Amino acid sequence: MNATSTVTILSTQGFTGTVTLTAQVASGIVIIFNPSGVNVPVGGTVTSITTAQAAENASLGTYNVIVTGMAVAGRKVLSSSALLTATVNPQGNFGVYAYPYSITVVAGFTNSTSIILYGRNGFNGSVTLSATVPFGFLGVMGGQNPVKLTSGATSNTSLLVSTTTSTAPGKYNVTITGSSGTVSHSCILVVNVVDPSPESLSLLGVTNKFPTNLTLSLHNNGDTPITLQSYSVTDISGDMWTLTNWTGPTISPGSNSSAVILIGSSCNTCTYKGIIDLFQQFVPGHTYLITITTKLNSQFTFTVVF
């Protein structure tokens, strides 16, 4: 920690010459004069910038610094001293931690935590966050960065942890580091990756029946989220409409959700396989097989009577 002051040297009684500055102070404090030697003109004044540097292990408190200027005039050694006080305060600092510090992520899905920072000892500034992630199909994405922080206050940002279906189950340590200048602190986020439980999806009913679309009411019977990503609709003749890039709903465990199934003219991105123009609309009273594929490649086939 550094602090500066100004020492003024003035000529009296017609003095002119070079004045050398020195300082006496207790250990832990270093005094630097810039310049340490000044040429003083007759009747004039000169200044020197004084920098006080406190070592990291310096004791807190106020130190008396005796600043002495010495000069040689003929056969005489002239000197004059002044008292300077230097106060060592605690260095501005900050802390960083994750809350919660341990999260569980189902392979193929995401979860998040909050990174909380707090300022202390007069810290005011920006803290830049970074994350060290172990290899193993694990990714992180942060929110606000850098984070502005003031002493006595807390700030937080989010951290999203993502996995793939190839992420091996187990515990991973993610190191989050906050840095500001020469000060840095880290915390550990424990990520527990688990295998997904077998997905279970049931059909509760069919609503909103129209010639080229209908709505399925679905229920997630399992204990992991289910994301729907493709479907196919087959009639009794084997003619099939397929949508492979479907942005279907994500159904939370134990929850219900609606899924809109489009065919024919209502689905420009669907593909058709079968006898041309035979299956262009749903026909009342006819039976159809609707197969839904999830993000984890589970397939569920439901029989629907239109």
Q: What is the model's pLDDT at position 3?
A: 86
Please, which pLDDT band fits residue 9 given cuts at 50, 70 and 90?
very high
Domain 93-194 and domain 201-305, same fold? Reply is yes
Please, which pLDDT band fits residue 138 given cuts at 50, 70 and 90?
confident
Does 6 have pLDDT greater than 80? Answer: yes
* Topology of the domain comprising 201-305: Immunoglobulin-like (2.60.40)
Please, which pLDDT band fits residue 1 given cuts at 50, 70 and 90?
low
Does 70 have pLDDT greater than 80? Answer: yes
Q: What is the model's pLDDT at position 292?
A: 97
Listed range (53-57, 64-68, 74-78, 231-235) with the worst mean pLDDT: 53-57
Report helix, strand and coil shares of the chain as percent, to nearest 5.
Answer: 0, 65, 35
Q: What is the model's pLDDT at position 288?
A: 95
Q: Is 244 left (phi over 0), alpha (psi -120 to 50) or beta?
A: alpha
CB burial of 69-98 (b: ≥16 within 10 Å; e: otherwise) equals: bebeeeeeeeeeeeebebebeeebebebbb
Instruction: Beginning with the edge strand found earlier in the chain, give each strand of the sheet holding 37-40 in spatial order.
Output: 37-40, 17-24, 61-73, 76-88
Does 57 have pLDDT greater than 80? Answer: no
Counting residues of the chain whose pLDDT is more than 90, the rounded percentage is 67
* pLDDT tens track for 238-258: 999 999 999 999 999 999 999
How far is residue 195's CA from residue 197's CA, in Å, rounded to a whole number?
A: 6
* pLDDT tens track for 85-103: 988 887 788 999 999 999 9
DSSP code of residue 264: G
DSSP code of residue 92: P
Q: What is the model's pLDDT at position 192?
A: 94
How far is residue 175's CA from residue 159's CA, in Å, rounded to a whole number?
A: 12
Domain chopping of the chain, boundaries: 2-88, 93-194, 201-305
- The CATH number of domain 2-88, selected from 1.10.10.10, 2.60.40.2310, 3.90.226.10, 3.40.50.20: 2.60.40.2310
Q: What is the three-state SS of 112-158? A: EEEEEEEEECCCEEEEEEEEECCCCCEEEEECCCCEEEEECCEEEEE
Q: What is the model's pLDDT at position 132?
A: 92
Listed range (82-86, 133-137, 182-186) with the worst mean pLDDT: 133-137
> Mean pLDDT over residues 101-110, rounded?
90
* Topology of the domain comprising 93-194: Immunoglobulin-like (2.60.40)
Q: What is the model's pLDDT at position 304?
A: 94
Please, which pLDDT band fits residue 120 given cuts at 50, 70 and 90?
confident
How far is residue 32's CA from residue 55's CA, in Å, rounded to a whole number?
A: 13
Does 56 have pLDDT greater than 80? Answer: no
Handedness of CA 199, 202, 208, 212 (dihedral sign): positive
**SS3 state at 266:** helix
* pLDDT tens track for 284-297: 999 999 999 998 88
* pLDDT tens track for 150-197: 888 899 999 999 998 889 889 999 999 999 988 899 999 999 998 888
Tell which wins on pLDDT, 203 or 60.
203
Mean pLDDT of the chain: 91
> Mean pLDDT over residues 199-214, rounded?
94
